[in-house]
Amino acid sequence: MQTILVPTDFKLSSLDCIPSLCEQTGGKDLSLIFMHMFKLSDSIGDLLMLSRRSKEYEHVSDEFYQQCEALKAKFPQIKSLKIDFFYGNTLIMFRNYLEAHCINEVLDLNLCSTGILNKSSLDPAMLIKKCGLNTLKINLMKPMRPVQVTTSERLEVLEEELLKEA
């Protein structure tokens, strides 16, 4: 199974590349980890309660969860989809996180929405660049542009359909 880290700020736009990713991987089983990075607090109280924190999950909208479930239903190769938070700013801590989650590749940051959630948010670019994992680049499928049809063309089509029915 291929485990891919998707750095994100949990905006719905960060899910836009997942259909292209699924197409490009050719049916391989995928495990996706949507992750946001935070600085590790200096407060002893915060550090003691870190494992019990749920405050960060408030930044993940219900629509994001619903879209994730819809993607899992649409693409059966997505075997798991996890929302997670990384606390730290050192390369060693980040590599330990990657190893603990068996992450094989990181999605290209140009395809990710990695904005700031709060004052403790970190830009993941430097740690990802230095971690040594492959950066997964994908070709985004271009959405089809809607065809512009004039009113007269619509009328012609309707007339032809009426004539066929008669």
pLDDT tens for 111-144 read: 777 777 777 788 888 888 888 888 888 876 544 3
CATH 3.40.50 fits 2-165, yes or no: yes
Ramachandran angles phi, psi of 22, nearest 5°: -65, -40
The Cα–Cα gap between 106 and 25 comes to: 14
Find tokens 């050192």 and name the residue. 90
Amino acid in the structure at residue 64: F
- Break the chain into its structural domains and give their ranges: 2-165
* pLDDT number for residue 46: 59
Looking at the predicted structure, is the pLDDT value of residue 151 above 80? Answer: no
Structure pTM?
0.74
Highest mean pLDDT among 95-99, 132-136, 162-166: 95-99
Per-residue pLDDT tens digits for 33-55: 999 988 776 666 655 565 555 66
Locate the DSSP E strands across the chain: 2-7, 30-38, 78-87, 105-107, 134-136
Residue 148: band (very low, low, confident or very high) from pLDDT cuts 50, 70, 90: very low
